[in-house]
Amino acid sequence: MSPTGLQAYVPLVIHLLVAAFLAGVLITLSTLVGWKRPNKAKQQPYECGITPTGDAREPFSVKFYLVAMVFILFDVEAIFLYPWAFIFKDLVRNVATRWFGFIEMMIYVAILLVGYFYLLKKGALDWNKPTK
């Protein structure tokens, strides 16, 4: 007999409750039992083994954030190519959808390229050019 409605989610809810309870118990135990010996070295920010220099609140260039946002944008859009590549073999089998699927993806790639060339033209990816 298969569970119906909300009964199908009971094992998931139990699993989440047990995981949350276990995480809370472990954090509480580590806080109560753990060593508390703060010193100057432990209180310093960790910089991958390198002695930190300067202030941590130095302003970054806007270019850094712009390039990061562009990278995320194109990275997420590139993920949409994977499902298309996965179903492309099914599209090719049917004569009606063969060219439709291919042209549809070429239009998608063309839109991405237009955005990329726009960014290049605006100088968004040029690190040597000063920001306006």
- 5: phi > 0 → left, psi -120 to 50 → alpha, else beta; which? left
Q: For residue range 88-110, what is the model confidence (pLDDT) as tens digits?
A: 888 888 877 888 888 988 999 89
Per-residue CA distances from 131 to 74, 91, 122 (Å):
22, 46, 11
Name the pTM for this structure.
0.49
Higher-pLDDT residue of 34 and 128 is 34
Question: Is 40 a residue whose pLDDT tops 90?
Answer: no
Q: pLDDT category, 36, cuts 50, 70, 90? A: confident
Distance from C-alpha of 7 to C-alpha of 12, rounded to nearest angstrom: 10
